Copies of this chain bind each other. A is one copy, B any other.
Amino acid sequence: MDEARKVFIDYLHRQRMKVTEPRLAIVNAIFSRQKFHFLADDLLRIVNARRREKISRATVYRTLALLEESGLLRRERYGGEVSSYEKALHEGHHDHLICTECGSVTEFYSDELEKTQRRIARRHRFKSTDHVLQIFGVCEKCAK
């Protein structure tokens, strides 16, 4: 996605930060791939796979933080110890079905669910801004 690249560059300009090669390489690595979720460590490996001058772990983490601030990524932790990152460009909030067998994550969106949640929040006089719903279980493939 060149869309993401553009958003990121705009963000850097707005913040008077520099558009550097390592930063671009990282956004490209993330958004030219179709996977929605990944771990910092996987990204490090992927982005450096075909490079002579390796990008350091520190830079990967620093760039992930920028991507999060710019709204391009969302950082999450599913019960595990490591953070995973999710692309946020394909916006429109959604929730997750997480397979405990193979670890696959399926996204879904349900308007009904959103409405129910808003109703619950209202009932508790809670001003909700966001939510995370993870349904754990076994996906179709693993169920066979």
Contacts and interface: CB of A to CB of B under 8 A. Distances in A.
A94 to B, nearest CB: 11
Contacts of A79: 75-77, 132
A116 interface: yes
- Copies of this polypeptide in the complex: 2
Interface residues of A, number: 36
A140 interface: yes
Contact of A120 (B108, B130, B132): B108
A125 interface: yes
A129 B137 contact: yes
A33 interface: no
A139 interface: yes
Interface of A: 75-77, 79-81, 97, 99-100, 106, 108, 110, 112-113, 116-117, 120-121, 124-140, 143
Q: Which 6 A-B pairs have the closest CB atoms?
A: A128-B137, A125-B140, A131-B135, A127-B138, A129-B137, A130-B136
